[in-house]
Structure 1
Amino acid sequence: MDKPDDPDDLVIVTGFKATRYRKLTPGQKTANRVLAADRAPVERGFAHLKNWRILTKLRTDPAHATHLLRALLVLTNIEAATGN
């Protein structure tokens, strides 16, 4: 059995959704804000990839996907570090 602090134990975190009859608590709203703040840079990165049209290369030659995605990860990390 896995320990609770096992880094290899992946967890998917989703936000909370309000309904007409059940409003979100302040804690759930805070959790949604934190999740959105973490998700924004990732979504921005995918938007850049779409603008660069770089993902079309993956469809033409999947053998280059690993090298291409590693290079894009480096560029994304540089961009995130500079705050652009």
Structure 2
Amino acid sequence: MSTVDYLAGLLRRHLKAIRSRWRILPPDRIAVIVLAVLRHDQLLADMAAGNHVSESIVRRWPDELIALLAARGPRLGRALNKIVKSDGGVVLIDGTLIPA
């Protein structure tokens, strides 16, 4: 499964759960725009103009998808416990050294 398909599926399930009626673009196009912004530092204004949406909408989409991805990830305590059980020695999180 590609990253775009995964993000689009995640967004589809979220939109269904919150009973959102529509978005200006389909989830797969939103996923491509978000990846372009996050991976390739595309300017929000360029992405908005190229897709005929407002810049403020493009600014919100990465935050929304990042929140959806974060909700699926393990919590810090669980992740550290798993690392300790697998004989992990040191963990770096955002540049912070945490002995495990």
TM-score (normalised: structure 1): 0.34
User: Which structure has greater strand proportion?
Assistant: 2
TM-score (normalised: structure 2): 0.30
Structure with greater contact order relative to length (CA < 8 Å, sep ≥ 6): 2
